[in-house]
Structure 1
Amino acid sequence: MENVICNVNGKLAEVIINRPKALNALNSQTIKELGEVIDDLSSNKEVKVVIITGSGDKSFVAGADIKEMRDLNAMEGRALGRLAQKVFSNIEHMPQTVIAAVNGYALGGGCELASACDMRLASKKAKFGQPEVTLGITPGFAGTQRLPRLIGKGLAKEIIFTGDMIDVEEAYRIGLVNKVYDPDELMDKAREMANKIASRGTVAVSLAKAAINDGLNMDTESAYKYEADIFGLCFSTEDQKEGMTAFIEKRKADFKGC
């Protein structure tokens, strides 16, 4: 891998977008490398939580690579959009929990990447935005679809139509960011949350993720039935037996992920 670093430490994996000279901008090679890493981690039964961040202290991902995009034709632009959409969708639907640790600029494709994660922790230096209209294009990595689902249609339209950046306080106020930390404690706090999630029932967390993601695309009655099916499925797992037995015995559960 030239532009993506993956470090696995027990139940946690840290994925780092590593193009600091380009503020970690996403070119097609970086997107492909990220896709390969995500595919490998998705099938890794030992990894329970994935943290995605950017190298350096200035940028999470400052957007897509404009130098690469400038001369694309319509079909090439569409292909780039579909490539990134597929990788980001795989992040959204991978069985592990995915935390974005946003350490600086999360603009354009960077905001779209963060939006595909299950939650976003940010440093006080972080800035978010979808500035594509200032370049004469629309968001193409699913920003017009995920952002309204995260913060509501009106706010998403304001951010996308103006192309303005918002600071981390505003991102937190509108629900785009879960937590805000000092820059030097961001990764420690991300790992702390990751370890907490990794200590919970592995199958339950994964199924809860599926219930939320898939249920939002159903009508309410179908979503209720889907949740009941998933709830029932939990009772076929060893994790359920261990979790409830540990509760009754007043001890900490030792989940095996099965």
Structure 2
Amino acid sequence: MAVADAELLVEVTGAVATVVIHNPARRNAMTAAMWRQLPEVLDRLAADPAVRALVLTGADGTFCAGADLGDLDELLDAGDASIAVEAEERLAAFAKPTVAAIRGACVGGGCQLAVACDLRIAAGDARFGVPPARLGLVYPAPTTRRLTRLVGPSAAKHLLFTSELIDTERALRIGLVDEVLPADRLAARVDEITSAVAARSQLTVAAAKEIVDGRADADRIAWWHGQVRASGEAREGVAAANERRPARFAWTPPVA
């Protein structure tokens, strides 16, 4: 498989964008070009008002086996300013809900990307690992902190200290994934979740994501409450509930 075949593939179906990590020759390892491509993809999807949710997944039954270490010198020189960390931070800050649909290996850079998503739904064949101790690398500080917030200090240390692969049973127990399903039900469940998100008030969803992630200060929270009053979203939601019909939420983010 040629290097040119290593890329992120993007498909938008209705309100859901799917980004596929595609590098089958390297078990979908992220190349430098792919790390650089991700923020560009995210910017494009963020600007598309039709997109209400994003799914990140991997090609051919594998999520992502890590970062391609062919550019090791660049990685070592960059430290926490690496293109991988920049892409991860951009994914974590993406304004719309993100779901990692995980099959097979989700290791290193793959786990880094999955943890930066809002939700992680895994097939039973998924395996997770954080291998820097096996490679003599220091896991980036932003990445380490995000992992720790998700699974707690003890579980994060286990993953970082041992570089062991863990199965979905343990991943679910420590909070690394939100749901585990048979592989043949994964796509349908992700469709259910993203369809539900797309049907909800985008005002509520966007505000909730900012507040949960700790990115909304008091002024921003007051702005969100002002949006509720000005938009009529709550009136529509209550009316729909009383009339037992689907709500017709119309709020869209203001143009920056």
CA separation of 1:191/1:158 partners in 2, compared to 1, >3 Å: closer, same or farther? same
Counterpart in the other structure of 1:78: 79
Q: How many residues align?
A: 248
Q: TM-score, normalised by structure 2?
A: 0.89
**Alpha-carbon displacement from aligned partner over 1:23-79 (angstroms, at most 9, x marks no partner):** 11111101111221111011111100100000011x21111112332x44742x427
CA contact (8 A) 2:100 2:120 kept: yes
CA contact (8 A) 1:112 1:141 kept: no
CA contact (8 A) 2:151 2:175 kept: yes
Structure 2 unaligned blocks of 5 or more = none
Amino acid across the alignment from 1:46:
A
Structure 1 unaligned blocks of 5 or more = none
Distance 2:74 2:85 in 1: 17
**Alpha-carbon displacement from aligned partner over 1:96-149 (angstroms, at most 9, x marks no partner):** 100000111111111110000000000101011101110110223833111100
Distance 1:227 1:180 in 2: 34
Matches within 5 A, 1:42-53: 42-53=46-57
Q: TM-score, normalised by structure 1?
A: 0.89
Distance 2:128 2:24 in 1: 18
Distance 1:61 1:141 in 2: 21
How many percent identity over aligned positions? Answer: 33
Counterpart in the other structure of 1:233: 227
Is 2:41 the counterpart of 1:40? no
**CA RMSD of the aligned region, Å?**
2.1
Matches within 5 A, 1:116-131: 116-131=116-131
Q: Which of 57, 60, 66 matches 2:69?
A: 66
Q: Which of 35, 42, 48 matches 1:31?
A: 35
Q: Could you list the structure 1 runs, at least 4 aligned residues long, displaced by more than 3 angstroms after superposition.
A: 71-74, 225-233
CA contact (8 A) 1:211 1:226 kept: no
CA contact (8 A) 2:15 2:52 kept: yes
Counterpart in the other structure of 2:157: 157
